[in-house]
Amino acid sequence: MPSAPAPTPATEVRRDGAAPRKPARRFDPHRFGPVIGLVLLLIAGTALNPDFATWDNLMNVLTRTAFIGIISIGMCFVIISGGIDLSVGSMAALIAGAMILLMNALAGSVASPVAVVGLGMLFALLLGGGFGLAHGYLVTRGRIEPFIVTLGTLGIFRAVLTWLADGGAITLDNDLSDAYGPVYYGSLLGIPVPVWVFLVVSVAGAVLLNRTAFGRYVQAIGSNEQVARFAAVDVDRVKLLTYGLLGVCVGIATVLYVPRLGSASPTTGLLWELEAIAAVIVGGTSFKGGEGRIAGTVIGAVLLSVISNILNLTSIISVYLNAAVQGCVIIAVAFLQRRRP
């Protein structure tokens, strides 16, 4: 029995020490579970439909993954620190609705559509960060379980959006739609803009988690909050910042999402929270906190989109069973990357 908690501090020490990194680079089979799962899926997809492996299809899949992927990276920090955020889907919907309303209102007084869109984007990031910090504040100062705080705001955000939209859809003005369109539909060097943004956020997330004091604190708090407190880590501030960071990630995702359909409705972002959490967990991050990986999270998010893409490109399985196939793949990948006790 006493042997159970022992490995945690051991791995902790190893990760924290910057110098003795090399010995840790042994091949670790369960660490590659998500990669193995993704490769198997890619092979299966190509075998089932030759159009699967085309550049256009792969770019479609990566572009649509960008929203969930960016949110998952923020979610990864929150989960590693031992928290959770159930509200991200509703938050994205409310930010989308609010920014469209703001841009439509500004369109009357500000002449340049590009300036209006820029202001709208800035507003989305600020609003996201603000919502995130509010969560963090309620969790740390308010001492309420993150599950409860975000369960509450999940309802609040979506209800406010539904109220703003009068139950229907909030739609962006046509002129603004044209100016904003390239943010989703445009591409740079043949790669769509959302994929670039996804890449930048991923790299920034990985650097922040693995190469900065903040990243180490996040992992230390998730591993053992009391020990981190004794080690003079400002636990409340770090936790507050993880929620703020996630909020900004939701803001970025929304900025990319709005030009896709140019509208927000009460079904926008439905169940995104579960997709984001699934991506993080499938990617090998421990649900209990303490450790996790950004690269794994990115692969997890891509993997989830690839499953539904393959199901859409084939018709061998009854459409009623789509969710069952997705569930099986998620469990299989989690099995591949499971930890030995």
Partner 1 sequence: MAATVALGCALGGVAFAADTVKLGVSIPAATHGFTGGIVWWANQAKAELEKAHPNLKITVKTASGAPEQANQLQDLVTVTKIDSLVIFPFESAALTQPVLQAKKKNVYVTVVDRGLTDPSAQDAYIAGDNTAFGRIPAEYIAKKYNGKANIVALRGIPTTLDNERWEAFTGVLKQYPDIKILDGKYANWNRDDAFKVTQDFLTRFKDIDVVWAADDDMAFGVLKAIEQAKRTDIKEVFGGAGSKTMVKTIMDGSNPLIHADVSYSPKFIYDAIKMTAEARLKGDKLPATHIIPSALITKENAKEFYFPDSPY
Give 59 or 144: the residue with its C-beta nearer to partner 1.
59
AA identity, residue 22: K
Pick the piece of the chain touching partner 1 (CB under 8 A) from 2-10, 121-129, 265-273, 290-298: 265-273
Give dist(CA 127, CA 80) in Å, integer: 24
Give 35 or 276: the residue with its C-beta nearer to partner 1.
276
- The separation between the first and the last C-alpha atoms of the chain, rounded to the nearest angstrom, is 11
State which of residues 43, 178, 267, 288 lies at the interface with partner 1 (CB under 8 A): 267
> Which residues, listed in sequence order, are joined to residue 191 by a DSSP beta bridge?
188
Pick the piece of the chain touching partner 1 (CB under 8 A) from 44-52, 121-129, 145-153, 229-237: 44-52
Pick the piece of the chain touching partner 1 (CB under 8 A) from 49-57, 226-234, 247-255, 326-334: 49-57
State which of residues 16, 315, 327, 339 lies at the interface with partner 1 (CB under 8 A): 315
Radius of gyration of the chain (CA): 21
Residues 241-260 within binding reach of partner 1 (CB under 8 A): 260
State which of residues 254, 265, 285, 337 lies at the interface with partner 1 (CB under 8 A): 265
175: contact with partner 1 by CB under 8 A:
no
Pick the piece of the chain touching partner 1 (CB under 8 A) from 203-211, 224-232, 291-299, 313-321: 313-321
Helix boundaries (H) for the chain? 7-16, 33-48, 55-80, 88-109, 113-140, 146-164, 174-180, 182-185, 193-211, 213-223, 225-230, 235-261, 272-282, 294-313, 322-336
Residues 319-338 within binding reach of partner 1 (CB under 8 A): 319-320, 322
Show Cβ contacts of residue 152 under 8 Å, excluding neighbours closer than 6 positions.
none
State which of residues 51, 145, 175, 178 lies at the interface with partner 1 (CB under 8 A): 51
State which of residues 134, 160, 261, 295 lies at the interface with partner 1 (CB under 8 A): 261
Size of site (CB under 8 A) for partner 1: 32
Binding flags for partner 1, 129-168, as an x/- string (CB under 8 A): ---------------------------------x--xxxx
State which of residues 84, 309, 336, 337 lies at the interface with partner 1 (CB under 8 A): 309
Question: How far, CA to CA in Å, does 193 sit from each of 197, 208, 245, 310?
Answer: 6, 22, 21, 23
Show Cβ contacts of residue 228 under 8 Å, excluding neighbours closer than 6 positions.
217, 220, 221, 235
Give 18 or 319: the residue with its C-beta nearer to partner 1.
319
Residues 181-240 within binding reach of partner 1 (CB under 8 A): 185
Give 8 or 57: the residue with its C-beta nearer to partner 1.
57
Contact 110/116 with Cβ under 8 angstroms? yes
Name the nearest CA neighbour of 306 among 26, 33, 11, 59. Answer: 59
Question: How far, CA to CA in Å, does 97 sit from each of 94, 150, 197, 262, 263?
Answer: 5, 19, 22, 10, 7
Question: How far, CA to CA in Å, does 340 sit from each of 30, 33, 220, 230?
Answer: 9, 13, 21, 29
Give 28 or 166: the residue with its C-beta nearer to partner 1.
166
What does the binding site for partner 1 look like in residue numbers (CB under 8 A)?
49, 51-52, 54, 56-57, 60, 64, 162, 165-169, 171, 185, 260-261, 263, 265-268, 270, 308-309, 312-313, 315, 319-320, 322
